[in-house]
Amino acid sequence: MLALRQSGMMKAALEKFWPEIRFELQIIKTTGDKITSVPLARVGGKGLFVKEIEDALLDGSADLAVHSMKDVPADLPEGLVIAALPEREDPRDALIIREGKSIADLRECSIIGTSSLRRAAQMRSLRSDFEIRDLRGNLDTRLRKLDEGLFDVIILAAAGLNRMGWQERASVLMDPVAFIPAVGQGALAIETRAEDARIRRLLVPLDHFETAVAVGAERSLLLELGGGCQVPIGGYARIVENKVELCGLVASLDGGQMFRAVRSAPLEDAVALGQRVAAELLDQGARQILDALCGAPATGPGGV
């Protein structure tokens, strides 16, 4: 439902810029859409939401793809490129609380629903008594499970609620510097074939410079940390006084260890900033978490 809404928004935007061209929506069910009964961390993580779509780009049966950027792995398949990043929606995490309006209202051992290791670790760091349970499915399915009493709180991306027109369901919007979002959260990525000059030209009007700078810094951080394995990693960049500021996070699964770093740099140095923040996190001790969860030594520059 959300994916269709997002694709429809980009189709409408393209038709506004190029009214002489007809754009068609093609619905492709991904493995991540089909497998909803198993935690993402057990079945391969975010890449499950893009593989079949990227296959369609590579075999020519689709010309462009609209993804939630937070679902796009740090490494793209050879021959594909992110050609445009439209202006970012709200990057924050939203708590939807069944009874009450704040974390302080939550009873002891409240049940928190999320499929994100990053969200789970940060919630555990706030309150060690929270019971984290896996939550999968479309936005409406997740909200229904909350309303039926299966959870006391669920955590969703504010951007998804906003795009569906359900922003009033958010009880608390978490400060993205204190509760760091997923890399690319709130942003859409439009992917196409690297050599397809015509499609890339059509996408130019949708590209938003500040979003591209901020997300570029975040994805540089993720790539440097080797974000292909299942580790609680967060990254949030914003433009402040003509500089890009990046907050990075690596946490242990139980939230007992939280490594954070914040640095800023000129806009043209966004990629280098991501590398610098990653190196600082590794030096603080994140290297040990990555080594343990990824099964290979973290090497600093060059990734894991």
State pLDDT tens for residues 236-285.
999 999 999 999 999 999 999 999 999 999 999 999 999 999 999 999 99
Q: Are 94 and 161 in contact (CB under 8 A)?
A: yes
Q: Judge whether 179 lies within some domain.
A: no
Q: Are residues 216 and 260 in the same domain?
A: yes
CA distances from 105 to 71, 101, 152, 153, 241 (A): 32, 7, 11, 11, 37
**272: phi > 0 → left, psi -120 to 50 → alpha, else beta; which?**
alpha
pTM: 0.90
Does 121 lie in the same domain as 79?
A: no
CA distance 195 to 192: 9
Residues 174 and 180: beta-carbon distance below 8 Å: no
Does residue 14 sit in the same domain as residue 63? yes
Residue that is written with structure tokens 């689709």 in the block: 62
Indicate whether 138 pLDDT > 60. yes
Q: What is the pLDDT of residue 136?
A: 87
Residue 178 lies in a domain: no
pLDDT at 230: 85
Quote the number of domains for the chain. Answer: 3
Which pLDDT tens digit goes with each residue over 141-195? 999 999 999 999 999 999 999 999 999 999 999 999 999 999 999 999 999 999 9
Q: How far apart are CA 70 and CA 297, in angstroms?
A: 25
The answer to whether residue 278 sits within a structural domain is: yes
**Which of 173, 198, 223 is at the close of a domain?**
173
What's the rounded Cα separation, in Å, for the pair 124 and 40?
A: 19
Choose, from 33, 71, 129, 291, the residue flagged as catalytic: 71
> Could you tell me the CA-to-CA distances from 69 to 11, 46, 144, 216 in Å, in that order?
17, 10, 25, 11
Between CA 128 and CA 103 the distance in angstroms is 13
Closest by Cα among 248, 213, 123, 242 to 174 = 123
- Which segments of the chain are extended strands (E)? 64-68, 80-84, 93-97, 111-113, 131-133, 153-157, 172-173, 188-193, 233-240, 243-251, 258-266
Whether 93 is a known active-site residue: answer no
Kindly report the CATH number assigned to the domain that includes residue 118. Answer: 3.40.190.10
Lowest mean pLDDT, pick from 28-37, 68-77, 179-188, 215-224: 28-37
pLDDT of residue 303: 30
Nearest of 36, 39, 68 to residue 230 by alpha carbon: 39
Say what the pLDDT of residue 302 is. Answer: 31
Decide the pairing of beta strands 131-133 and 111-113: parallel
Same domain, 144 and 228: no
3-state secondary structure 104-124: HHCCCCCEEECCCHHHHHHHH
CA separation for the pair 154, 146 (Å, rounded): 7
pLDDT at 40: 57
Distance CA 212, CA 88 (A): 9
- Give strand pairing partners of 266: 243
| 180 falls within a domain | no
- Taking the C-alpha atoms of residue 231 and residue 217, their distance in angstroms, rounded to an integer, is 19
**Phi and psi (nearest 5°) for 227?**
-75, 20
Q: Residue 37 is part of which domain span?
A: 1-87+186-207
